[in-house]
Chains A and B, each alone.
Chain A
Amino acid sequence: MTPAFLIIAVLTIVAAAGAMTLRNLIHCALAVAVAFVGLAAAYLQLNAQFVGFAQILVYVGAVAIVIVFAALLTRGGEPSSEAIFSKTWFAGLGVTIAVLGVLTWAITRSVVTQRETAPAPEVTVKQIGDALMTKYVLPLEVIGLLLTAALIGAVIIAMRDEVKK
């Protein structure tokens, strides 16, 4: 465990905890963004440049923006004068513990743990591109189709209703 990893891990976990516990919605969204950056840093730490930068580009540049926009366009951005932590923390804690338990059980039972860890390969962007265009072309196309459908759906929702006479 290197010092760099320790810093990144602490940053990510504290930010994620903040995102769960803070009362102000916008503060939560900003904390989520920090957690995303922490994750990206972890990817970079593992020498996965492409994934790390894509993580920042997509999650900080787009997803966090969508979250804050959603928080602003709905109501609830107002911070209340009450305590800083959410009142329903015990329910959240229960859900968290349950999810953690399921995940731990699944991981320990999984065959992945029995495998030996291979040395991390040096992957260039070119190799990722080649893999996406050959081996994984079908999943890529399916995701593309899905996103296009989502885009068209968004346009239809946003389209002005024609006035019927």
Chain B
Amino acid sequence: MSEFDQIFVTLKHWLLGQLANVVPGALLPVLSALLSIAAIIMVFATLFAIMTILERKGLGRIQNRFGPNRVGPFGFLQPAADGIKALIKEDLVPRAADKVVHLLAPVMLVVPALLVYAVLPIGRNMVAIDFDAGLLFFFAVGAASELAVFMAGWSSRNKYALLGAMRAVAQMVSYEIPLILSTVSVVMITGTLSPVKMVEAQVGQGGWLPAWFVFTPWGFAGFVLFMIAANAEANRSPFDLPEGESELVAGYFTEYSGFKFALFFLAEYLGLFAVSGLGITLFLGGWQAPFPALEFIPSWAWFFAKLLGLIVLFIWTRGTLPRLRVDQLMNFAWKFMLPLALINLLTAAVWHYMPPGSPRWLVCSGMVVGPYVLLGRGLLAGKHVAKRIYRYAE
């Protein structure tokens, strides 16, 4: 297990050992960092390509279509064709645009999306930087992307772009609060901000289930809240109203074309992977196998298997749910997610101080389900929800 598990770590050390004979010692830390960066960029850019084709094919099947099936076997070379197309397209900049900000915006968006991978443990001993305040780093860097979105929308000098940017920033600010609050419960239980230590806190088995936080009442609620907020942070359907094609013609990146446009998509998907990776680290036991019997499969394979699972979940939700309205989006964030996240903090504290056993399970489950039902009712209050009758469409 250990050799195959640590194959990439060993490979990096061997490479560095070889390089030590060629380059001066002062350069070695830089080279080590560069190796990690290159690995992260390659792996996650490839994952981006895989996800685009999976998403297009999956959405197609959900809508009873074929999806792309022309390029390569079963259409699986479509991302390569898309990439070439994006590269050779004309790069248009509107005459009235703020040229410098317009150029900087996609770069500013991709850089934080890549930076956050530095603190994600994607396998045993496989983390680029083990920060003491890793979680804080993740959210701090992620918050910078809001400014990039605003820059893109504002510099385009386009009403749709500006509206899209305003919507996107409002949405990202609103959903960042439940996103962070849902992770705080994990911080409270583990007593650390380091993702590596959080994974270590989920080692072992609790009864017949793995000791992952998602298998506790507060952890489950936190995980669901986290995933919903992550979906909104990534501007994905059903929270894709900043870039609603039918109303805002792609929102803040309306005025981008060619490779800059591709960069926006890259940043969006990289952000999605990163936030999914964080969800795995916090709630799904990180790179750990669910059962000791399955530990012969290397840790990084477990991480990517879980990541793929979450990606499928994201695609599935996108294929299912229609877009929300702005007021619905804000009501959901402030009147439902925020109170629930706060109550969840209390639940985590109760869980921490009660002795293990069924009473703890009962009390904490009640603390999660009760507010959920009540708040859900409050969200629907005064609204008559009935089967819609179409006068002309049928």
Main secondary structure on B side of the interface with A: helix
Chain A nearest CB from B169 CB (Å) reads 6
Which residues, 108 to 142 on A, are CB-close (under 8 Å) to B?
Answer: 124-126
User: How many Å lie between the Cα of A77 and that of B141 in the bound state?
Assistant: 27
- The segment from A5-13, A52-60, A80-88, A94-102 that touches chain B is A52-60
Chain B residues with CB below 8 A from A54, complex form: 136, 140
In-complex Cβ contact of A60 among B147, B151, B169 (8 A): B147
Report the separation of the CA atoms of residues A126 and B197 in the bound assembly, to the nearest whole angstrom. Answer: 13
Q: Is B255 an interface residue (CB 8 A)?
A: no
B176 to chain A: closest residue by CB:
A61
Distance of B83 from chain A, by nearest CB (Å): 30
Contact partners of A53 in chain B: CB under 8 A? 133, 136-137, 139-140
A56 and B191 contacting across the interface, CB-CB below 8 Å: no
8 contacts between A and B (CB under 8 A): A49-B131, A49-B137, A56-B143, A57-B143, A61-B140, A65-B146, A65-B147, A68-B147
Flag whether B336 is at the interface (Cβ < 8 A).
Answer: no
Q: Does A20 contact B (CB under 8 A)?
A: no
B269 at the interface (CB under 8 A from A): no
Query: Do A56 and B141 contact each other (CB < 8 Å), given the known contacts A65-B150, A72-B154?
Result: yes
Say whether A125 contacts B133, CB under 8 Å.
yes
B132 A124 Cβ-Cβ under 8 A: yes
- Residue on B nearest A54 in the bound complex, by CB: B136
Partner of A72, one of B137, B141, B166: B166
Any A CB within 8 A of the CB of B193: yes
Is B31 part of the contact surface with A, judged by Cβ < 8 Å?
no
Sample of 11 more A-B contacts, CB < 8 Å, known A56-B144, A72-B166:
A26-B101, A30-B147, A30-B151, A55-B140, A56-B140, A57-B139, A57-B140, A60-B140, A65-B173, A72-B162, A124-B132
Contact A61 B146 (CB under 8 A): yes
**Nearest CB in chain B: distance from A154 CB, A:** 12
B192 at the interface (CB under 8 A from A): yes
Complex Cα spacing A61 to B177, Å: 12
Docked CA distance A65–B150 (Å)? 8
How far does the alpha carbon of A37 sit from the alpha carbon of B143 in the complex, in Å?
A: 12
B interface residues, how many (CB within 8 angstroms): 24
A-contact bits for B248-262, CB 8 A (1 contact / 0 none): 000000000000000
- Say whether A62 contacts B136, CB under 8 Å: no
| Chain B residues within an 8 Å CB radius of A89 | none
A contact set with B: CB distance below 8 Å: 26-27, 30, 33, 37, 40, 49-50, 53-57, 60-62, 64-65, 68-69, 72, 77, 124-126
CB-defined contacts of A125 to chain B, threshold 8 Å: 132-133, 136, 192-193
Q: How many A-B residue pairs have CB under 8 A?
A: 68
CB within 8 A of B101: which of A30, A37, A56, A57? Answer: A30
Contact B136 A60 (CB under 8 A): no
Please state if A68 and B136 are interface contacts (CB–CB under 8 Å).
Answer: no
A69 CA to B146 CA in the complex, in Å?
Answer: 12
Smallest CB-CB separation from A60: which chain B residue? B144
CB contact between A57 and one of B136, B150, B191 (< 8 Å): that residue? B136
Using Cβ atoms and an 8 Å threshold, which residues of chain A touch B140?
40, 53-57, 60-61
A61-B144 contact in complex given A125-B193, A126-B191, C-beta closer than 8 Å: yes
0/1 per residue, B172-184, Cβ < 8 Å to A? 0100100000000
Give A29 Cβ to nearest chain B Cβ, in Å: 9
By a CB distance below 8 angstroms, the chain A residues around B137 are 49, 53
Q: Mark B79-112, 1 if CB is under 8 A from A, else 0.
A: 0000000000000000000000100000000000
CA distance A37 to B115 in the complex (A): 14
Interface centre among B131, B136, B166, B191 (most CB of A within 10 A): B136
Q: Which residues of B contact A26 (CB under 8 A)?
A: 101, 154
Complex Cα distance, B140 from A40, in Å, reads 11
Minimum C-beta distance from B30 to chain A (A)? 13
Question: How far in angstroms is the closest Cβ of chain A from B175?
Answer: 13
Tell me how far the C-beta of B95 lies from the nearest C-beta in chain A, rounded to whole angstroms. Answer: 14
Q: A5–B137 Cα gap in the complex (Å)? A: 20
B154 adjacent to A68 (CB under 8 Å): yes
By a CB distance below 8 angstroms, the chain A residues around B166 are: 69, 72
Contact A50 B133 (CB under 8 A): yes
Cβ–Cβ contact B147 & A64, under 8 A: yes
Q: Is the CB of B143 within 8 A of A60?
A: yes
CA distance A27 to B144 in the complex (A): 16
Output the nearest chain A residue to B131 by Cβ-Cβ distance: A49
